[in-house]
């Protein structure tokens, strides 16, 4: 027997149905969202099969002077809630300049424990490193629901050189779509 | 027969409880059945408020009603002098509840657009164009676009990542002076494109070179034939070695059928080209569906 969805209902935020069933669809008239019920663990969500787009970002107006040992790019830290079986695109944008131009500056995208998830060592002996835009990308497949962190870190190998990152260093997070069925329980 | 008790207290504008007020409850839009035992639910039930203005009735839980689109209507028949009759719509949850907590707002749109809850192996056998389903096992919300397109996501939205390739074990190197595939980032049959959709291809990698100053490295995202281009970019080498450039570029394309994406490189002047890759330094090629390029072909 085919089960037909209940009358959707237009609900204000905070007044959602008290007895939803999996697959129930509502229109949230406060925020204009079309949501579906995915069970008590996931709650009301957008259609699971679509990309959900922007999740979080951070962009810093100031610049950062790279130190010799690897260290955090001050303030360039972002934490957000991931959902199991969703796919996330993490992009860190760094504007890099060097004086004098020389080899040996590394930029890292890391997790909260400083484990590298992407990295690049810039190297050039000519004019290619001034105001260069660097994009480090990570494709993250969530295997659990919880909070994760990404940070920008950097290091240099030439102590006397001035290596500057920024302004407008940023980390952006996007939901790219599903990586499996919704974890109902 | 799972039931829950729904109750409400009726008062007039002065706050005085209204006793002995008839209360009529029926199902909308019409007759319905209990899913667990298949018996028909009474079309209407009647009660009265007590001395405190309270009425309460044990009603079939909505989750056990077929069709599940059914909902209850209650008419509290207060006389005009006491404010007149009141009509409310509600669903019955799994717990005893106040009427206030169960209210819904049925609309015309609600009656027309609602997903049929199925599984990926039990989709409707005779769908109609515009039919909407919710696959409980995959969580997908799909619409039927006719025999050509079949069941698809909402046509006018972006559908997200459709294909991805990556190298995350070892660098790719070549000394070829003609275009060659970057192993791991080339696939002539990567995914099936849908006519009328638009795809975004992105490269995220880093390119190195060791050879001659002034040489030119050519890179390209090519089609399955290895000849036609989606996007290309050339780099003028400024130092003989240790050179390292970020690669990020993208291409937007409308196409259909089985299609490929091939990252290819060459350097006519010789030398070694490197696409850097490791576990902490992946090189990525991704393809995203970014929305429609034309209206759906509905047949």
Q: Would strands A25-28 and A10-11 be described as parallel, antiparallel, or unpaired? A: parallel
Nearest-Cα distance to chain A for B3, in Å, is: 13
Distance CA B253, CA B196 (A): 10
Averaged pLDDT for residues B119-131: 89
- B252 shares its domain with B233: yes
Distance CA B6, CA B58 (A): 6
> B61 and chain A: CB distance < 8 Å anywhere?
yes
Distance CA B12, CA A64 (A): 69
Question: Which of B130, B152, B174 marks a domain boundary?
Answer: B152
Instruction: Using the CB atoms, write b or e for B69-81: b if 16+ within 10 Å.
Output: bbbbbbbbbbeee
Residue A139 with chain B: CB contacts under 8 Å: 164, 166, 282, 284, 286
Domain that holds residue B189: 160-292
pLDDT of residue A7: 44
pLDDT of residue B160: 93
Q: Is B180 within a domain?
A: yes
DSSP B21-47: -EEEEEEESS--EETTT-PBPPSEEEE
- B103 shares its domain with B25: yes
pLDDT of residue A131: 59
- Tokens representing B182 are 């970057």
Q: Is B126 within a domain?
A: yes
Distance CA A122, CA B16 (A): 80
**Gyration radius (Cα) of chain A, Å:** 22
Residue B154 with chain A: CB contacts under 8 Å: 47, 50
The answer to whether B162 touches B287, Cβ cutoff 8 Å, is: yes
Distance CA A181, CA B6 (A): 36
- B229 shares its domain with B262: yes
- B143 shares its domain with B202: no
Mean pLDDT of chain B: 88
> A135 and chain B: CB distance < 8 Å anywhere?
yes
Q: Quick one: pLDDT band at residue B85, thresholds 50, 70, 90? A: confident
Backbone φ, ψ for residue A183 (5° rounding): -80, 90
From the list B283, B139, B115, B279, the residue with the least C-alpha distance to A83 is B139
CA–CA–CA angle B126, B130, B134 (5° rounding):
75
Q: Is B62 within a domain?
A: yes
Cross-strand partners of A141: A87
**What class is the A53-178 domain?**
mainly beta
Cβ separation of B141 and A87 shorter than 8 Å? no
Report percent pLDDT > 70 for chain B: 95
Q: Is B46 within a domain?
A: yes
pLDDT, greater one: B1 or A37: A37
- Asked casually if ipTM beats, i.e. exceeds, 0.90, the reply is no
Write out residues 241-260 of B within 8 Å (CB-CB) of A: 242-246, 248
- B91 shares its domain with B120: no
Cross-strand partners of B102: none
The answer to whether A50 touches A174, Cβ cutoff 8 Å, is: no
- B140 shares its domain with B187: no
Q: Say which residues have a Cβ less than 8 Å from residue B126's Cβ, sequence separation at least 6.
A: none
Averaged pLDDT for residues B246-266: 87
pLDDT of residue A156: 87
The answer to whether A17 touches A8, Cβ cutoff 8 Å, is: no
pLDDT of residue B244: 63
Distance CA B155, CA B133 (A): 14
Q: Is B65 within a domain?
A: yes
Write out residues 94-123 of A within 8 Å (CB-CB) of B: 103, 115-123
**The whole model's pTM is what?**
0.71
- The tally of domains found in chain B comes to 3
Give which of A1, A2, A4, A7 to mutate to test B binding, by max B Cβ within 10 Å. Answer: A7
From the list A82, A38, A43, the residue with the least C-alpha distance to A179 is A82
* DSSP tag of B126: S
Q: Say which residues have a Cβ less than 8 Å from residue A48's Cβ, sequence separation at least 6.
A: A36, A38, A178, A181, A182, B138, B139, B140, B141
pLDDT of residue A8: 55
Question: Which of B124, B152, B180 marks a domain boundary?
Answer: B152
pLDDT of residue A83: 96
- B246 shares its domain with B198: yes
Reduced to 3 states (helix: H, G, I; strand: E, B; else coil), residue B158 is: coil
Averaged pLDDT for residues B81-100: 88
* DSSP tag of B225: T
Q: Is B76 within a domain?
A: yes
Distance CA B278, CA A142 (A): 20
Q: Is B286 within a domain?
A: yes
- B79 shares its domain with B98: yes
- B181 shares its domain with B284: yes
Please give the helix or strand (H or E) that residue A39 lies within, else none.
helix A39-42
- B132 shares its domain with B103: no
Q: pLDDT tens across B21-69, in order?
A: 999 999 987 788 998 888 999 888 999 999 999 999 999 998 888 887 7
Cβ separation of A7 and B62 shorter than 8 Å? no
Cross-strand partners of A25: A36
- B174 shares its domain with B257: yes
Distance CA A16, CA A8 (A): 11
> A88 and chain B: CB distance < 8 Å anywhere?
no
Residues of chain A whose pLDDT is less than 50?
1-7, 125-128
Domain ranges of chain A: 10-45, 53-178
Reduced to 3 states (helix: H, G, I; strand: E, B; else coil), residue B99 is: helix
Distance CA B101, CA B88 (A): 12
Q: Which of A123-132, A148-157, B155-164, B208-217 has the lowest mean pLDDT?
A: A123-132
Residue B92 with chain A: CB contacts under 8 Å: 19
In chain B, the N- to C-terminal Cα span, in Å, equals: 44
- B90 shares its domain with B188: no
Q: Is B299 within a domain?
A: no
DSSP A41-73: HH-EES-TTS--EEEEEEEESS-EEPPSS-EEE
Q: Who among B61, B118, B280 is closest to A119 (CB)? A: B280
* B69: CATH: 2.60.40.10
Write out residues 145-164 of B within 8 Å (CB-CB) of A: 153-154, 157-161, 164
């Amino acid at each position: 027997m085919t089960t037909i969805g209940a009358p959707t209902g237009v609900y204000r935020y905070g007044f959602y149905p008290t007895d939803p069933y999996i697959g129930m669809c509502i229109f949230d008239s406060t925020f204009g969202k079309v949501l579906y019920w995915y069970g008590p663990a996931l709650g009301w969500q957008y259609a699971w099969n679509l990309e959900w787009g922007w999740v979080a970002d951070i962009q810093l107006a100031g610049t950062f002077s790279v130190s010799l040992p690897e260290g955090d790019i001050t303030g360039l830290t972002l934490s957000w809630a991931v959902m199991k079986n969703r796919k996330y695109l993490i992009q860190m944008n760094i504007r890099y300049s060097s004086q004098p131009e020389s080899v040996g500056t590394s930029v890292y995208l890391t997790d909260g424990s400083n484990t590298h998830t992407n990295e690049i060592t810039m190297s050039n002996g000519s004019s290619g490193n001034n105001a260069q835009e660097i994009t480090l990308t990570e494709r993250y497949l969530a295997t659990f629901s919880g909070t994760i962190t990404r940070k920008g870190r950097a290091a240099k190998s030439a102590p006397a050189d001035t290596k500057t990152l920024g302004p407008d260093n940023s980390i952006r997070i996007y939901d790219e779509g599903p990586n499996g069925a919704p974890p109902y329980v | 027969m799972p039931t829950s008790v729904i109750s409400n207290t009726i008062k007039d504008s002065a706050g005085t409880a209204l006793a002995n007020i008839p209360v009529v409850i029926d199902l909308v839009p019409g007759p319905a059945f209990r899913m667990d035992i298949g018996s028909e639910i009474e079309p209407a039930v009647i009660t009265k408020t007590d001395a405190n203005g309270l009425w309460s009735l044990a009603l079939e839980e909505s989750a056990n009603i077929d069709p599940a689109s059914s909902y209850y209507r209650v008419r509290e028949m207060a006389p005009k002098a006491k404010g007149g009759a009141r009509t409310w719509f509600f669903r019955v949850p799994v717990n005893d509840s106040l009427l206030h907590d169960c209210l819904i707002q049925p609309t015309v749109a609600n009656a027309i657009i609602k997903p049929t809850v199925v599984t990926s192996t039990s989709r409707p056998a005779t769908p109609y164009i515009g039919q909407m389903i919710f696959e409980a096992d995959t969580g997908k919300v799909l619409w039927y676009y006719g025999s050509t397109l079949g069941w698809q996501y909402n046509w006018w939205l972006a559908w997200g990542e459709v294909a991805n390739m990556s190298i995350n074990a070892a660098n790719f190197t070549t000394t070829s002076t003609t275009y060659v595939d970057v192993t791991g980032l080339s696939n002539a049959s990567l995914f099936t494109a849908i006519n009328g959709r638009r795809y975004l291809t992105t490269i995220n990698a880093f390119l190195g070179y060791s050879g001659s100053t002034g040489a030119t490295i050519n890179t390209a995202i090519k089609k399955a034939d290895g000849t036609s281009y989606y996007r290309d970019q050339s780099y003028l080498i400024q130092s003989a070695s240790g050179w390292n450039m970020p690669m990020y570029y993208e291409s937007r394309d409308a196409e259909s059928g089985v299609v490929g994406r091939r990252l290819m490189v060459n350097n006519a002047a010789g030398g070694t080209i490197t696409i850097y890759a490791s576990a902490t330094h992946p090189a990525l090629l991704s393809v995203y569906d970014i929305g429609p390029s034309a209206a759906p072909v509905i047949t």
